[in-house]
Structures are given as C-alpha cells and as structure tokens.
Amino acid sequence: MYAAHAPETRPATRNAHNTGCSGCAHAATCQAGGYGEATLSGLRDIVERVGLLRDGEYLYRPRTPFRALYAVQSGMAKTVAVDSSGREQVLAFHLPGELFALDAICLGHHDNAVIALGRTQFCRFPFDRLRCLTTTQPDVQWHLMHTMSRQIHQQRLSGGDYPAEERMAAFLTNLSDRRTLLGLRTDHLPLPMSRADIGNHLRLATETVSRLLARFRDARLIRVERQGIEVLNGKGLREIGRHLLQA
C-alpha cells in the first residue's frame, strides 16, 4: 500500500487534437498507435491523453467499467491484481508505448488496478471508437490482434519454474530489450518501482531482490542505485537469464 497513497483521482483528459502522436517521442515504435504510421493514422485521431499522474496515483481501479484501452505515454506504470484475501500481485510493468487493459475486454470491467510509477502520462483509446475503426480499417483490427497475440505469448514466460537468480536476470534483460525497442538507453535502467514490487512480480521476497542485486553487483554485472541500476555487463546478465528469454 506504500505506493497507493493517493485518493481516487479524476485526471484531466485532453483531446488528442491538442497533443497528437506527432510530438510523441515513441510514436514510431508505439505498440498502441505506432507501427505503420500512415496506415494506422485512424488510431491517432481517437487517442486522448491522460495525466499527468504522480507516483502511486491510480489510472483505474478494480470494478471500474471498461471504457478504453491504454498505453503509457511517458513514465512507467504497474498493473496490480488483488485477490479475495487482499493479497496483491504485480502482474506487469508498462513502458511507454505498451498497450494494456486488454484483459478487461472479455469482462466488461477492469478487475485490476493500474498505478503510476513516478510521474506518468497515458494514452487513452476509447473502446467504442476503436470498435468502429476496426470494422472499417482491417489493418487496425489486424494490429490489435497482433498485439494481443504478443501479450499471450509473452505472459507464458513469467510462469516458468526457474531459480530466483535467473528470473531476476531475465527480468532486467527483458526491461533492457524493451527499452532498446523504444530507442532508450540500456546502460542505465530506471527502476521507479519499489523492491517489494519487483519481488512481488517475480515471486521473490524483497530481501531476496536486494540480495540478488547485491550478488550481481559483486559480480561486476551492475551498479546498484536507489531508483535504478547501471548495467556494466549486459551480456553476462543475459547469459544468466538465457533460459527464460526469447523462448
């Protein structure tokens, strides 16, 4: 609950006409609106901007009606599910351009929460408009399906039964790879989430996260900072996590 101190927020939603994708640093690689720039331009017309949200603020909460898909525009966010006993599970961390809330389509409402990690802005794709688009533009439809397929594919990796060290290394390498796709630096990985969040996501105790980072530090693989790490030996890190990667 440490990062969820903010009360229910109704963040400002501005129309895209003010802030189109043309000014977005990730427009070219955005999984939500990007890819073929000309062909998918329909998406750019329906996108809205949400935010700015600050650390710990909610984009949406469980039991909220499903109205739109989202992507991070800048910053970072986490998806958190809460089970019947109140235990939280960090399902994913989202980087700019990565589409989420796809799981809510079949339910009609969100059954998990999305919370900003640090100052974060979002792109919002109203679903009714999206449905109109997909019926008229087959490539938008195809693109969405592609994205959903990718998500089904990716999730399978996180289920595996691998030692803690390998899961940790794979997690960091995966983050690095996703940043590469976005054209961001990979010698330094910001980790705006808490150690508890990382541990929860990887099924590890926070103490174990600390210890593993310390172990990687002692092996000269990384330099540990409070809100991130500096990658000294990405190859070595990838080697440790290789079994979990690229499937």
Q: Give the interface with a second copy as residue ranges (CB under 8 A).
A: 81, 83-85, 87, 89, 91, 102-107, 111, 131, 134-135, 138, 141-142, 144-153, 155-156, 158-161, 200, 203, 242-247
Chain length of the chain: 247
CA distance 224 to 202: 18
For position 107 contacting DNA by CB under 7 A, the verdict is no
DSSP per-residue codes, 156-174: HHHT----HHHHHHHHHHH
Stretch (H or E) spanning 115:
strand 113-126
Query: Closer CB to DNA, residue 39 or residue 227?
Result: 227
87 lies in the site for DNA, by CB under 7 A? no
Cβ distance to DNA smaller for residue 214 or 219: 214
What CA–CA distance (Å, rounded) separates 93 from 116? 10
Q: Does 158 bind DNA (CB under 7 A)?
A: no
Task: Tell me how far, at minimum, the Cβ of 56 lies from DNA, in Å.
Answer: 8
Q: Is the dihedral of CA 128, 131, 135, 137 positive or negative?
A: positive
The counts of H helices and E strands in the chain are 7, 10
> To which residue do tokens 């070595």 refer?
236
Q: Which entry of a second copy, DNA, none binds 165, CB below 5 to 8 A by partner kind?
A: DNA
Of 20 and 228, the one with the shorter C-beta distance to DNA is 228
Residue from the set 19, 151, 158, 194 that interacts with DNA by CB under 7 A: 194
> Which residues are at the interface with DNA (CB under 7 A)?
2-3, 163-165, 194-196, 199, 203-211, 213-214, 224, 226-227
